[in-house]
């Protein structure tokens, strides 16, 4: 059994500007906790290969997905298909899980 704790993994900044702690990264998927400080926004981007799911653990944010804007709060999950332009803006500090399949890779992140 492979168990990973947030206290045992270092945080790093992704290509879009969020800070993540990757808990698992396999050949098929990855799971990370991401954080954005109050007012911080990821750079609008897309992933050619990866499908993502964001799940809000703490805080609120405005999510933009292909021009559709919605507020997200604790307990909300949003599906981000491959190739979909997106960004998330923190309203206060936000903490969320980011699940990617195939796993997150810097080289699969594209900007305008």
pLDDT per residue as tens digits for the range 34-55: 999 999 999 999 999 999 999 9
Q: Mean pLDDT, the chain, as a whole number?
A: 96
Question: DSSP letter at 44?
Answer: P
User: How far apart are alpha carbons 4 and 23 in whole angstroms?
Assistant: 6
Q: Which two tokens stand for residue 54?
A: 């964001």
Q: pTM of this prediction?
A: 0.95
Superfamily of domain 11-111: Jelly Rolls (2.60.120.10)
Q: Quick check: bond before 81 cis, omega within 30?
A: no
Q: Which two tokens stand for residue 10?
A: 């270092």
Q: Confidence class of residue 107 from pLDDT cuts 50, 70 and 90?
A: very high
Which residue do the tokens 């168990």 mark?
A: 3
User: How far apart are alpha carbons 89 and 27 in whole angstroms?
Assistant: 29
pLDDT per residue as tens digits for the range 63-93: 999 999 999 999 999 999 999 999 999 999 9
């Amino acid at each position: 059994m492979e168990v990973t704790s947030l206290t045992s993994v270092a945080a790093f900044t992704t290509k879009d500007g969020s800070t993540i702690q990757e808990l698992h990264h396999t050949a098929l998927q990855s799971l990370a906790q991401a954080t954005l400080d109050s007012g911080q926004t990821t750079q609008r981007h897309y992933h050619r290969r990866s499908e993502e799911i964001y799940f809000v653990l703490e805080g609120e944010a405005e999510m933009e997905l292909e021009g559709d804007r919605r507020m997200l709060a604790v307990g909300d999950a949003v599906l981000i298909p491959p190739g979909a332009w997106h960004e998330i803006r923190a309203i206060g500090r936000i903490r969320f899980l980011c699940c990617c399949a195939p796993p997150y890779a810097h080289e699969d992140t594209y900007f305008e």
